Amino acid sequence: MRYFQSALLFLLISTSSFAQSISTRLSSQTQRLLDDAQMRNASLSLYVADAATGEKVYAYDAERGLSPASTQKIFTAIASFEILGSDYTFKTQIGYNGTLSDGVLKGDLIVTGYGDPTFGSWRFDGFKPEDVKAKILTSLANAGIRAIDGNIVIDESKWDFNPTPGGWPWDDMGNYYGAGDWGVNWRENQTNVTFRSGSQAGRDVTVTKVDPILQGATLVNRLTTGASGSSDKSCLYMAPYSPVALIQGSVPAGKTLMVTGSMPNPPLQFGYELRDWLKGKNIYCTGEIKTAADYILKDKNVPEITTSMDIYPSPLMHNIVHFFLRNSVNLFGEAFAKAIGYQERKEGSTEAGVSVIRRFWLDKGIDNSMLKMIDGSGLSPQNYVCAKAEVKALLYAQDKDWFKYFYEALPTYNGMKMKSGTIGGCKAYAGYQVSKSTGKKYVFSIIINNYYGSQYSLLPKMYRILDVLK
């Protein structure tokens, strides 16, 4: 008995000493970071908790609200699992109005979307553009439609008219990661622009390919050739519904480059591709390609499906979350937010969805001073969150039946399972780490705003803190 008591006392002292050692080392490395020139005018929020007990291990300004960038995605992902369910699917419906006789549809062919962000996405087998094409042509063949005496209507009106959250920077929206979320999304709302620079600085830059070709918008090329060996400083400006897509800046001499931008009007883009598919099958349409916006802008009712032909579901939500977190696809987060708003409040808007998500986290003990959400993805610099709130969210997720999907979706950086976040002047990480020496699991968040210099020189300094947990 005396031996057992001595062993137990030794174990308790050892555990306490190790915990103290972790805290001391975290403090030392944090101070080392704060003393660095890159942090002279920066802000830091850091929190580490014991995953088993939820108890604080170390904190530095843990309730300081800072822009979290894409680490905010953990709040959207967890709320989506809980509110929508891990098996939730988005849906796209195809049908028509009018009458069908002897293969001729006297009415409109209508595709109505409910915000599926994977519609035509290259990431998912069975949902790529060629798969969507095959499904739609099969639906028309099964219905017996051989000609359309009416319009092709792409109805994106189930979601809010505004596809882009407030607070998104103008120079982000034209890039692929700034693509808005529409009622009908297509090819992740992206287009690729390939160009060839001149042989010398000051020469013209030639756009050689736009894929897919933009519909309803003209690309204005204001690119110039920079010095040989310079960096790519091209920038795309493509606002939703805009008839003008501008590309400007400079690119290094003698290079062929490709940049990926956002589509100004994905529903219209899809409508043109759909018409081409029909032509390929000798199914001709006497009318025009219309989107819901065409009717809304003229204060007219959007045609509705009276006869449904098919409903196309998206992949299961937990499969979408995989790419949402692993590849940080902003479009998916905005789609989740709007889907939550539509399900809970019958309003497919960013504002409605974010309001429901905030209410969800408020009920879990994360008050409004700890988390301000403008969007579902973290792209807006007007978002702010503190490190303690991110750790509370990660702790909450651990005992849920869907946690395996959430954990697996987290990327691996520095040998650690954690979500990263990067926007101008912000670098952040939030995730889980198991100590190899003790087997203890830690939950952590580190957020830095307004650092000086390159993020690439900052990263090893952040990793020195996180390495203490290994």
Residues with Cβ within 8 Å of residue 352, at least 6 apart in sequence: 338, 340, 341, 342, 344, 345
For 236-247, the pLDDT digits (tens) are 999 999 999 999
CATH 3.40.710.10 residue spans of the chain: 17-86+319-469
The architecture CATH gives domain 17-86+319-469:
3-Layer(aba) Sandwich (3.40)
For residue 12, is pLDDT > 90? no
Q: Write down the pLDDT at residue 10.
A: 44
- Mean predicted lDDT score pLDDT of the chain: 95
Residue type, 380: S
Express each pLDDT in 115-144 by its tens digit.
999 999 999 999 999 999 999 999 999 999
| Predicted pLDDT of residue 297 | 96
Strands laid side by side in the 289-291 sheet? 289-291, 152-155, 109-113, 91-96, 307-313
pLDDT score recorded for residue 316: 98
Whole-angstrom CA distances from 293 to 15, 120, 208, 376 are 64, 21, 31, 24
Q: Considering the chain, tell me which residue range(s) the CATH 3.50.80.20 domain(s) occupy.
A: 91-161+266-315
- State the pLDDT confidence band at 19, using cuts at 50, 70 and 90: low
Q: How many Cβ atoms sit within 10 Å of the Cβ of residue 273?
A: 18
Q: What local confidence, expressed as pLDDT, does residue 281 receive?
A: 97
Looking at domain 91-161+266-315, its CATH architecture is 3-Layer(bba) Sandwich (3.50)
Residue 341 structure tokens = 């708003």
Cα distances from 373 to residues 71, 353, 355, 356, in angstroms, run 12, 10, 8, 11
**DSSP string covering 284-302, please?**
EESS-EEEHHHHHTTT-PP
Residue 420 tokens read as: 């990263």
In the predicted model, what is the mean pLDDT of residues 351-359? 98
Query: What is the per-residue pLDDT for 435?
Result: 95
288 Cβ contact partners less than 8 Å away, ≥ 6 residues apart: 151, 152
Within 8 A by CB and 6+ apart from 231, the residues are: 252
Per-residue b or e along 405-433, where b marks 16 or more CB atoms closer than 10 Å to that residue's CB: bbeebbeebbebebbbbebebbbbbbbbb
- pLDDT score, position 166: 87
Per-residue pLDDT tens over the stretch 43-97: 999 999 999 999 999 999 999 999 999 999 999 999 999 999 999 999 999 999 9
Query: At 14, is the pLDDT very low, low, confident or very high (cuts 50, 70, 90)?
Result: very low
Q: pLDDT for 146-159, tens place per residue?
A: 999 999 999 999 99
- Nearest C-alpha neighbor of 452 from the set 42, 24, 25: 42
pLDDT in tens, 393-419: 999 999 999 999 999 999 999 999 999
Please give the pLDDT value at position 80: 98
For the cut 50, the answer to whether the pLDDT of residue 13 exceeds it is no
Q: Which residues contact 435 (CB under 8 A, 6 or more apart)?
A: 441, 442, 469, 470
